[in-house]
Amino acid sequence: MRVLVVGGGGREHALCWALQRDAPDATLFAAPGNPGTAALGTNLPIAATAVADLTAAVVQHDIDVTVIGPEAPLAAGLADRLRGAGRAVFGPSAAAARLESSKAYAKEVMRRAGVPTAASATFAALGPALDYIRTHAEPLVVKASGLAAGKGVVVCATRESAADAARAMLAGNALGDAGKEVVIEEFLEGEELSILALTDGERIVLLPPAQDHKRLGEGDTGPNTGGMGAYCPVSLTTAPLLARVRRDVLEPVLREMATQGAPYEGVLYAGLMLTGDGTPYVLEFNCRFGDPEAQAILPALAPGLTTHLVDIARGGWRPASDIIPPTRAAVTTVLAARGYPEKPERGAAIRLPSPEDLGSDVVVFHAGTSRDPDGTLKTAGGRVLDVTGLGADVPAAARASAAACERIAFEGKTWRRDIAWREIRRAGAA
Ligand code: AMP
């Protein structure tokens, strides 16, 4: 089997790692990949959004199955193009990926499907947006409808700051086209949780729940980032809660997508807020594995994910159970470059102990790294490495991750020592 993973971050390294663990005889390609995926297969120097070039490469290299990591190529229609060329692909069509690429559309789907979500309204013009803000209670959340690489959501304590955010997006071009339409919604209070499901549009298999850490600083302080860490599983997800998310969120959304002529297949990722009364409200949908959630979830699973991805891509998926339980806990800590997320420094040499040296309870995924011709590994992006610790429980996995992070060195290394703090606090209280 010849498999192509599209993308070049930590998530794609984790996907390649899982594919190789499951199917050691498979031939792996990544586009564009990174030094981590280069160690597992062949990197093709093609950007993840170069839809025509990727389609040509799939034919040229006779790829059996393509797994698309990031949202941008999905929104750009890569899955449609590959399917049109008769190729098996894991990932939704551009029409279905609008669940992520248009928050306004996602809200409309949820409204039609009766999915619990924050009360909201969508605006393309500033005047009506300001009227809405004036007549609604603080705090408010202003969201760019389009893809904004994690920068599109502004939580506003006051109406004044909400008006500023709406003005910046709708009149000030702050986020380009992504902010030409905004969703303004009520602020929800609670604990956030990520539920990822594999689906072929009808069947649903839940992956272990995860929680990510968006803020740069310890104690969830500082600016928002793409994610500074994640862990799995999350003990506050009980079986009844998962059943409720399946019944009240995932199933109705899949039905509505089919009704709209945009059947959904791939990973459906629901970003949830558990409010005081325990209702899971949807904050957002993602149409792919999360990054860095995948780097925690995939190592926590027993081998076997590949069969699901391949069978969904090829059709004829018949999963034996409706949930894939974790076999161990995993905590992923992101090692970022100094200056991340605003202006990450690049080009620092990385000292990375060998896998044998780090031990069997640690897996390191490359995110923003590059390798010089002489073999030197260097920082080449905001998030540099994802360090996943494994253990019987989350506290043990967190210790393994933090110990490994201490041993990896590069100038400007920036990381949070408190990934999974909520779960560790719960474990301590239990
Ligand atoms: P989103 O991309 O929509 O998930 O938003 C990014 C982050 O903004 C979420 O992970 C939450 O921390 C926060 N957020 C989004 N919507 C809301 C809301 N309605 N109430 C409170 N926080 C929110």
**C-beta separation of 178 from 71 below 8 A:** no
Residue nearest to atom 15 of ligand 1 (CA): 283
What pLDDT sits at residue 277?
86
Please give the sequence-ordered ranges of beta strands (E in DSSP) within 289-407, or none if there are none: 329-336, 362-366, 369-371, 377-379, 383-391
> Distance between CA atoms of 317 and 314, rounded to whole angstroms?
8
Query: Is 220 close to ligand 1, i.e. is its CB under 6 Å away?
Result: no
Ligand 1 centroid to residue 55 C-alpha, Å = 35
Vertex 382: Cα angle to 36 and 79 (nearest 5): 60
Query: Is 265 close to ligand 1, i.e. is its CB under 6 Å away?
Result: no
pLDDT digit string (tens) for the chain, length 430 residues = 999 999 999 999 999 999 999 999 999 999 999 999 999 999 999 999 999 999 999 999 999 999 999 999 999 999 999 999 999 999 999 999 999 999 999 999 999 999 999 999 999 999 999 999 999 999 999 999 999 877 899 999 999 999 999 999 999 988 999 999 999 999 999 999 999 999 999 999 999 999 999 999 999 999 889 899 999 999 989 999 999 999 999 999 999 999 999 999 999 999 999 998 889 999 999 999 999 999 999 999 999 999 999 999 999 999 999 999 999 999 999 999 999 999 999 999 999 999 999 999 999 999 999 999 999 999 999 999 999 999 999 999 999 999 999 999 999 999 999 999 999 999 887 6
Residue nearest to atom 7 of ligand 1 (CA): 153
Ligand 1 centroid to residue 397 C-alpha, Å = 27
What pLDDT sits at residue 427?
86
CB-based burial label for 38 (10 Å; 0-12, 13-18, 19+): middle
Query: Is 192 close to ligand 1, i.e. is its CB under 6 Å away?
Result: yes
Atom in ligand 1 nearest the alpha carbon of residue 185:
19
Query: Is 106 close to ligand 1, i.e. is its CB under 6 Å away?
Result: no
What pLDDT sits at residue 404?
98
Ligand 1 centroid to residue 153 C-alpha, Å = 7
> Distance between CA atoms of 35 and 362, rounded to whole angstroms?
18
Tokens of 201: 């549009």
Residue nearest to atom 1 of ligand 1 (CA): 284
Instruction: Compute the chain's Rg from CA coordinates.
Output: 21
What is the DSSP secondary-structure string of 384-419? EEEEEEEESSHHHHHHHHHHHHHH-B-TT-B--TTT
What pLDDT sits at residue 430?
62
What pLDDT sits at residue 205?
98
